[in-house]
Amino acid sequence: MESFSERLIHLRHSHNLTQKEVSGSLELVYSNYNRYERGARIPDNETIVRFADFFIYVGY
């Protein structure tokens, strides 16, 4: 099973997006987003929902 950070990387790559594009679209501090992908930090539930909504939206 993929970790959260691995899944986040996979989703970002599958949509051909950069870390800066995702963090900017979600109005997240870039360094925090980078930590999520490295597994150095776990987002709170609200941020996880924002990620889900974002990747559902860019999928259409």
Q: What is the pLDDT of residues 2-32, one digit of tens each?
A: 999 999 999 999 999 999 999 999 999 999 9
Q: 46: which 2 tokens?
A: 């609200």
**Contact status, residue 4 vs residue 44, Cβ threshold 8 Å:** no
d(C-alpha 56, C-alpha 46), whole Å: 15
Domain ranges of the chain: 4-58
Q: Long-range CB contacts (< 8 A, 24+ apart) of 6-15?
A: 8/36, 8/37, 8/51, 9/37, 11/51, 11/55, 12/37, 15/55, 15/58, 15/59
**Contact status, residue 51 vs residue 27, Cβ threshold 8 Å:** no
What's this model's pTM, rounded to 2 decimal places?
0.90
Q: Which CATH superfamily is domain 4-58 in?
A: lambda repressor-like DNA-binding domains (1.10.260.40)
